[in-house]
């Protein structure tokens, strides 16, 4: 099985790659369109801001390619947000494969932004990506923007309100949290993605 990490400038690429190696997969880091198109699985990692992330994909000529992929695709953290239609972060158009607009957390007393920490994942519907996920499983989040709950949400969590933590639409999937930093839960969900 060939797995590629799209080199869109995210700072979590090394940790995602290492998490995949622990699962026995050596994912190539690439911005080459032919390599991405030929891969069995494509992962779009990302830590940073939406506007520079989309600018990097445009600069590399990968926007239309990413939209046209038919194999399983996984967006991680910012990568998940880039799968959506728009982001308030930089007021930017994103890939548009998930019908959602990414919004900034509304600051309120006792709610720090960015959201950093462990939150419980709440399953919303059955999906192979969530195989083995329990009622009390937690994941590690670091972000200031979130995808609202919608029919694409496989699992949600709550931080000043409910938002999508795991999404899927057709062959596109996303995890808002960092599976590579979410211990056994993150490893299990990455393994599930590799088995889709």
pLDDT tens readout for residues 113-147: 999 999 999 999 999 999 999 989 999 999 999 99
Q: Strands 98-104 and 84-87: what pairing? A: parallel
Among 77, 89, 94, 173, the active-site one is 77
Task: State yes or no: is 135 an active-site residue.
Answer: no
Query: Catalytic residue among 84, 135, 178, 195, which?
Result: 178
Its pTM stands at 0.96
**CA separation (Å) from 24 to 17, 46, 115, 168, 183?**
11, 22, 31, 24, 16
Mean pLDDT of the chain: 95
User: Residue 107's pLDDT is what?
Assistant: 87
Confidence of residue 10 (pLDDT cuts 50, 70, 90): low
Given this model, what pLDDT does residue 8 score?
80
Q: Which residues are registered as beta bridge partners of 156?
A: 122, 164
Write out pLDDT tens, residues 31-48.
999 999 999 999 999 878
Which pLDDT belongs to residue 48?
Answer: 84
CA dihedral of residues 90, 91, 97, 100 (deg, nearest 10): 110
Fold of the CATH domain 3-194: Rossmann fold (3.40.50)
Tokens of 129: 């990506």
Q: Is 84 a catalytic residue?
A: no
Q: Could you tell me if 94 and 85 are in contact, meaning their C-beta atoms sit under 8 angstroms apart? A: yes
- Which candidate in 127, 135, 180, 195 is catalytic? 180
Helix, strand or coil, per DSSP, at residue 189: helix
- Residue-wise pLDDT for 101-116, tens only, equals 999 999 889 899 999 9
Strands (E), 38-196: 41-44, 73-76, 84-87, 92-93, 98-104, 115-120, 122-123, 138-143, 145-148, 153-158, 162-169, 172-175
Say yes or no to pLDDT of 9 above 90.
no
Tell me if residue 77 is catalytic.
Answer: yes
Kindly list the domain boundaries of the chain, sorted by start residue: 3-194
Nearest to 71 by CA among 99, 29, 36: 36
């Amino acid at each position: 099985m060939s797995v590629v990490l799209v080199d869109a400038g995210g700072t979590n690429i090394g940790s995602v790659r290492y998490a995949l190696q622990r699962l026995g997969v050596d994912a190539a880091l690439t911005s080459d369109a032919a390599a991405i198109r030929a891969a069995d699985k494509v992962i779009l990692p990302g830590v940073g801001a939406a506007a520079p992330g989309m600018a990097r994909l445009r600069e590399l000529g990968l926007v239309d390619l990413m939209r046209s992929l038919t194999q399983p695709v996984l967006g991680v953290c910012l990568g998940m947000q880039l799968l959506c239609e728009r982001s308030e972060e930089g007021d930017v158009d994103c890939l548009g494969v998930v019908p959602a607009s990414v919004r900034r957390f509304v600051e309120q007393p006792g709610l720090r932004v960015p959201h950093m920490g462990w939150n419980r994942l709440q399953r919303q519907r059955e999906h192979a990506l969530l195989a083995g996920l329990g009622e009390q499983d937690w994941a590690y989040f670091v972000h200031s923007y979130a995808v609202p709950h919608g029919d694409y949400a496989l699992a949600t969590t709550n931080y000043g309100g409910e938002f999508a933590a795991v999404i899927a639409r057709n062959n596109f999937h996303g995890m808002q949290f960092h599976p590579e930093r979410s211990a056994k839960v993150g490893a299990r969900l990455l393994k599930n993605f590799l088995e889709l």
